[in-house]
Amino acid sequence: MGISIRNIAAYFFSTYLLASGKLRKLKAAAARGEFIISVYFHDPSRELFESCVRWFQQHGFQFISVQELVDLLRQSKPFPPSAVVFTVDDGWKNNRTNIAGIAEKYKVPVTIFASTDPVEKGGAFWWSYAAKAAQKGLITETVSGLKKWPDTERKILISKLAETIPLQREAMTIAEIQEIAKGNFVQFGSHTVTHPILTTCSDLQSELEIKDSKTTLQNWLQKEVHFFAYPNGLFTQREINYLHHSGYDAAFTTVPVYITP
């Protein structure tokens, strides 16, 4: 990871949290079980992910799984002191060593939400084709601009780009998912089939993305998939309804808040 504006901003923000005593107060509130902290990752380095696990462990946090979180909410049980939930989006290839390896080493539960098409078909995630094409001057639209396009139009553009710009696989393989799932600490959830922005999909597309990714993952894992993460965290009541119909128990978004009862 290079030094970016984001890193510098994070450095000043964390320094402020430490210096102002805010972090101490937040830790005390977490210790009283007022909320649960939920942290999500995409494709962290092994060093970054390990340092996050160690930080929470050294500060007295206990890791709980998504299933334990859902059980607490369903049974209206009080939150345990200093609890944290780790989730990971997309299903990046590097997650095998950088996430699963560390989760098993430190015995911490992690849920990886994988999109099934990039796993099944190889190649890169769609935004990598768009970013590469923009870099080469083939398109003028940005990745964040494309996220607002109607999904069918975005898919047509991306499949054209994928034919002209060959990119290496970015997601894990089916065999890697099956191998990781054999461990004791990593479980998989769904993150749609093609990683569209669900709110830009037609009713039928949105429903299929939610339903088919669950069926596919269940076939690979030979067990029930209960959890889902919205691509980009975006959803409407329509997606919640499809999740209910498809038999999911919980879904994750990206809103930066603590989990409260």
Binding interface with Zn ion (CB under 5 A):
89-90, 231
Cβ at position 254, least distance to Zn ion in Å:
9
Cβ at position 143, least distance to Zn ion in Å:
12
Is 57 or 94 the residue whose CB approaches Zn ion more closely?
Answer: 94
Instruction: For residue 225, give the nearest of 113, 121, 119 by alpha carbon.
Output: 113
Is 180 or 198 the residue whose CB approaches Zn ion more closely?
Answer: 198
CA distance linking residue 167 with residue 83, whole number of Å: 39
Cβ at position 202, least distance to Zn ion in Å:
20
CA distance linking residue 48 with residue 36, whole number of Å: 21
Is 33 or 233 the residue whose CB approaches Zn ion more closely?
Answer: 233
Is 65 or 213 the residue whose CB approaches Zn ion more closely?
Answer: 213
Nearest 5°: phi and psi at 112?
Answer: -105, 125
Cβ at position 191, least distance to Zn ion in Å:
6
Neighbouring residues of 196: CB distance < 8 A, sequence distance ≥ 6? 151, 154, 155, 205, 209, 231
Please report which helix (H) or strand (E) contains residue 38, including its range. strand 37-41
Instruction: Specify the pairing of strand 62-63 against strand 37-41.
Output: unpaired
Residue nearest to Zn ion (CB): 89
Dmax over Cα atoms in the chain, in whole Å?
Answer: 55
Cβ at position 91, least distance to Zn ion in Å:
9
Is 30 or 130 the residue whose CB approaches Zn ion more closely?
Answer: 130
Measured from the Cβ of residue 136, the count of other Cβ atoms closer than 10 Å reads: 11
